[in-house]
Amino acid sequence: MHVKRSTLPGVLHTPYIFLIPSFLYMMLVMGYPILYAVNLALRDPVTGELTFNNIIVAYKYYKFNEALFYTFAIILAVITLDFIIATLAAIYFFTYKFKVSQLVFYIFIVPLALSDVAAALIWYAMLSPTGYFNKFLLSLGVIEDPIQFFGYAFRDRTFIAIVLAEVWRTTALVFIILYASIQLLNKEYFEAADVFGFNFLDKLRHIILPLLKPAIESALVIRTLFALQVYATPLVLSGLDIPVLSTITYYWFTERFNVHVASVYALLIGFITLTLGILYIRVLRVRYEV
């Protein structure tokens, strides 16, 4: 079949025409707010002149380094535990079928329906001095006095409580993505692996994880985005005792009434998210051989 040369330009430009609505939507929903935030970050609050003073103020804020540290610490701890638990759970539900498997499955993903505020309050109720955890240990005689999890003097334990609350609430998100993908894997791979005597770790390393790379990439980007935006959990459980970038952004916006410095922190969160997203894509990119 021969195509007239005069029709080729129209055919070649058609895909770009279809992309115009998406491009306009992205520019309106993402582009304009980002440019507006950049403008606020580079404007003097009083004179409105261009300045880098807001960046200097944000950098010299005494809780900035601490917030940066705790933000990355929470990301590393939560995402690592999320993926370990979600991967093992996805493999387990994919491999084993039992009578109440659907019930266990739904119980496992229930926390996903809770807001971060609700999840934080639940864990605060469990871990407070008069909470269920301390009452249980006291009733067994394991401890004589309640374990203190919250307060500036117990920040290490508060950090653990924040990580537990976030992992409990968000592991289901990663699990759903991985579980949906693992069900699409060809079972002939596993049958061939059994023939060659592969154990579980061999199957995990050579079959499951390589084939789940696209799903892992998507889950990592989504989960990292949410982890960088974590706000209610550390705020409810620690106030500003354990600051993260999102909580000090809120602090500068609502308590200090300085939208310019808050914009600097918001742009920093966006930059970190973009950088980690690009890193995930480059590291986990699936390469197809022809």
Q: What is the pLDDT of residues 12-50, one digit of tens each?
A: 667 778 788 887 887 787 778 888 888 888 888 878 788
Cα dihedral value 3, 4, 9, 14, nearest 10: -40
**How many distinct structural domains can be found in the chain?**
1
- Residue carrying the six token digits 């922190």: 265
Look at residue 197 and tell me if it is in a domain.
yes
Look at residue 9 and tell me if it is in a domain.
no
pLDDT digits (tens, 9 = 90+) for 156-189: 899 999 999 999 988 888 888 888 888 887 777 7
* Position 98 pLDDT exceeds 70: no
Question: Which structural domain, as residue segments, surrounds residue 112?
Answer: 24-284
DSSP for 148-204?
A: P--SGGGHHHHHHHHHHHHHHHHHHHHHHHHHHHHTTS-HHHHHHHHHTT--HHHHI
Look at residue 289 and tell me if it is in a domain.
no
> Looking at beta carbons, which pairs linking 148-157 to residues 24 or more positions away fall under 8 Å?
150/124, 150/237, 150/238, 151/241, 152/241, 155/238, 155/241, 155/242
Question: Rounded to a whole number, what is the distance in angstroms from the first to the last CA of the chain?
Answer: 27
Q: Which pLDDT value is given to residue 97?
A: 67
The CATH number assigned to the domain holding 246 equals 1.10.3720.10
Cβ atoms of 212 and 175 within 8 Å: the answer is no
Q: Which pLDDT value is given to residue 9?
A: 53
Q: Which pLDDT value is given to residue 10?
A: 53
Q: Which pLDDT value is given to residue 177?
A: 87
Look at residue 15 and tell me if it is in a domain.
no
Look at residue 6 and tell me if it is in a domain.
no
In whole angstroms, what is the distance from residue 61 CA to residue 56 CA?
A: 9
Look at residue 2 and tell me if it is in a domain.
no
Q: Is 128 left (phi over 0), alpha (psi -120 to 50) or beta?
A: beta
Q: Please give the average per-residue pLDDT across 131-154, as a whole number.
A: 86
Look at residue 12 and tell me if it is in a domain.
no
Look at residue 18 and tell me if it is in a domain.
no
Q: Which pLDDT value is given to residue 12?
A: 60
pLDDT band at 70 (very low <50, low <70, confident <90, very high): very high
